[in-house]
Structures are given as structure tokens and as C-alpha cells.
Structure 1
């Protein structure tokens, strides 16, 4: 899934959020989010993880079902507090999604942590309020391996202009 992988990529960057550690890292930052939109839902793995913690998808869609997130205007039958999704990491798709989603609602996106350290991130970082480190995640069901890239949650909001605050991985308290 990362830049050092030699295997053929899945169509539409279909790498489900099977690793619950991604959601655990995000939970302290979405305490006030009760309903959210998931515009890159895939088969709903992220939705199921979040539901286990009382966070519900007011809206979901996916390219595999004919929904184009890059054309979505934020319409939903039910109001939502944020957008939370594991988007495609392909930059020609990811960057327009950042631009579009942050104008609809505060947006949490899960993708590679290295992105924040690249020139291509510069135009987006002023509107990024938080970067939450997750580390390496497992993307392939039943694989013994994690991905080769560290991941992070990025929060974007068009109203925010002060740049990001970095939140490192939380160390589990010893019992």
C-alpha cells in the first residue's frame, strides 16, 4: 500500500480499515462527534469500528457503489458533526478530497504520516489543525504483516488557518 511496496495496488485504493488501533488513536479527538459522514466507506469496516464506540455514520458512500466523493456537496438526510474516512492515498485523488471535504465539515482523514513532511503538503497544512500519529497498520485481512508506512489521522477545517498540532502515539498505561 505504501511507496516501498512492489505488489500491484488494489483498484480505487481499496484497503479497508481492519486495524482497530486506527480508531483507538482517534477517539480522544472526536469525543463531541456523534454523527459523521463517511464518503469513502468501502465495505464499512471503519463504520463498524466507530459504531462500537457510539459514533454513527449519518451518511456513507463509496466509489464501488457509484458514489463519487469528489462530486459530493455534503448533502445528507441526517446532519453530521464531521467527516471521518480512510481515503485513497493517491495524491491526484487525495488532494482534491482534502480541499472539498474541509469546506463541508471538519474532516478527519487517515493516510500516510510522511505526507506532512513533503512539499506537496504545504498548501494544505495551514488548514490542518491536528495530526494524530497512529503508526503502522495492518491493511490486508489475515496477513501477518503491517504496512510499510506509518499512518496518521489529519484533521482539516477550512476555517482553521494556524497549521497543525502534532499528537504522538499514546502509550498504554501499565496495569
Structure 2
């Protein structure tokens, strides 16, 4: 999965958040978040990990089960939207615009995006970029993807641009 891969992409960018390092990197930044909506739930791996960290999923849906996240009018009553959306820009960018108007929104996608011109219209409303690194996306393999990923937090009421949070340094042995 990524720009340097010659493998065919999975339908609907169906790469599941199976690697626990994704949630481990995010949890320290979820202070005050108790409930969340997961509009690109896939097989539910991200939901189970977040619930394992003490959060409660109040809504889950996925295009594969008939729920189009871009047609949802509001996610009322949830502290945040947390999802691993499709990375295809024609889908990702409308999702950023749509979700950030409803609730603080944490999206997991390629870290390189923030360093491209296409990110410019979105950066003022991006409050955090939390680096995760390379994750494993395919069950049963030991290999990680070729792209570094990050959690990007967006909210329409934020206008100061992002705070970048790097990966913690490993302790020397």
C-alpha cells in the first residue's frame, strides 16, 4: 500500500488498522475523549483497540456495509471522530472538510501528505500531527507498509496550524 508499491490496491482502500502501535501513539492525545464515531470502520480493528483503551464507540459504519461517511449529516453527541480513512485524495480531502465541521477529527494516513502542496488548504485547521511510523496493514505478515503514517487532528474551530509530535526516542540499552 503506497506510492512506491507495485501491488494492486485493495478495493476501497481496505487496509485494516491491525497494528497496535497506531492506537498506542494516539491515546496520550485523547484527554477528554470518552465517545467516538468511526465512519470508515472496515472490519472494526480500530474500534476494538480504542475500546480496549477505555473509549466507547457510539457509531460505526463503512461504505462496504452501505454507510457512506460523506452522506452522514452529523455525528451529534460524540467527543471525536477517529478513523483510518481511504488515502485516495479524491475521497480523503472531502472527508477532512466534512468531518471537521462536526467534531474534532483524528485521521490516520500517510505522514508525507503534510509536506505537499495539496495539504495547504487544510493545514490551518490541523491542530496536531502525531507521528506513528510504518505500520503493518496485512494480517499474517511481518512486513510493514512502505510509507510512514501519522494521526492528523482537524477541527473547523482551530485556525493556528499543527503542533508536530515526533515519535518517542527508544531508551538506550
- TM-score scaled by length of structure 1: 0.96
Give a deviation string over 1:55-114, Cα, whole Å, max 9, x none.
1111110001000001111245xx210000000000000000000000000000000000
Structure 2 residue runs without a partner (length 5+): none
Q: Report the counterpart of residue 158 of structure 1 in structure 2.
A: 156
Q: Report the counterpart of residue 63 of structure 2 in structure 1.
A: 63
In 2, the alpha carbon distance for the partners of 1:136 and 1:164 equals 21
CA 1:17–1:162: 2 relative to 1, 3 Å: same
Q: Of 76, 85, 88, which aligns to 2:83?
A: 85
* 3-state SS of 2:129 partner: strand
In 1, the alpha carbon distance for the partners of 2:140 and 2:107 equals 24
Residues 1:9 and 2:6 are matched in the alignment: no
Residues 1:144 and 2:142 are matched in the alignment: yes
Q: Report the counterpart of residue 103 of structure 1 in structure 2.
A: 101
Does the aligned pair in 2 maintain the 1:25–1:170 contact within 8 Å? Answer: no
Q: Report the counterpart of residue 113 of structure 1 in structure 2.
A: 111
CA 1:167–1:118: 2 relative to 1, 3 Å: same
* 3-state SS of 1:133 partner: strand
In 2, the alpha carbon distance for the partners of 1:103 and 1:56 equals 21
* 3-state SS of 2:101 partner: helix
In 2, the alpha carbon distance for the partners of 1:161 and 1:37 equals 23
Structure 1 residue runs without a partner (length 5+): none
State the 4+ residue runs in structure 1 displaced beyond 6 angstroms: none
